[in-house]
Structure 1
Amino acid sequence: MKKSRFSEEQIIAVLKEHQAGIAVVDICRKHGISDATFYNWRNRYGGMEVSDARRLKALDDENRKLKKLLAESMLDVATLREALGKNF
């Protein structure tokens, strides 16, 4: 996945500007982003505080690690089943 130019803190600050009453077009022009990017950010980070975004990132990292461990263990189980099936 492509690394964003903006951190979670910066994204939340941009969204707070919109909540303060600044128009989306002006915000997008000021920060050099597209309307689609702004609305994607709003869908993902809308209503969050910085601490919430950090916690979300930590949970995403943990989820990715757990999925990797599960995939590795399933591969090990499949390999063992295949080996046992050939011997008996």
Structure 2
Amino acid sequence: MADMIRVEVAYALPHKQKILSVEVEEGTSMLDAVRQSGIEAEFPELVLAEAKFGIFGKASRAPESDVVREGERIEIYRPLLIDPKQARANRAAKAQK
């Protein structure tokens, strides 16, 4: 039997946040751990195939192959509503008025 490790899966919307703890086999990929957590049942609108992932704020380029380690928190990121550069430009323009 393979060794088991515990990781957390986190996702947040403006009105609802959830962190789920899940036990997975050692060597499990980030994407597989997210699927095993059952987070999709909590957020039916979440499409994992389109989502971006990270560990403790560091984005993953390949969640389907990045292996999780004991105690890590996998974060599921929502798409940005506006480009950060554009948001800064909008704030600067508003401040000048």
Please confirm whether the aligned pair reaches a TM-score higher than 0.5, indicating the same fold. Answer: no
More strand as a share of residues: 2
Structure with the larger helix share = 1
TM-score scaled by structure 1? 0.31
The one of the two structures with greater contact order (alpha-carbon pairs below 8 A, sep at least 6) is 2
Bigger Cα Rg? 1
Q: What's the TM-score, normalizing by structure 2?
A: 0.29
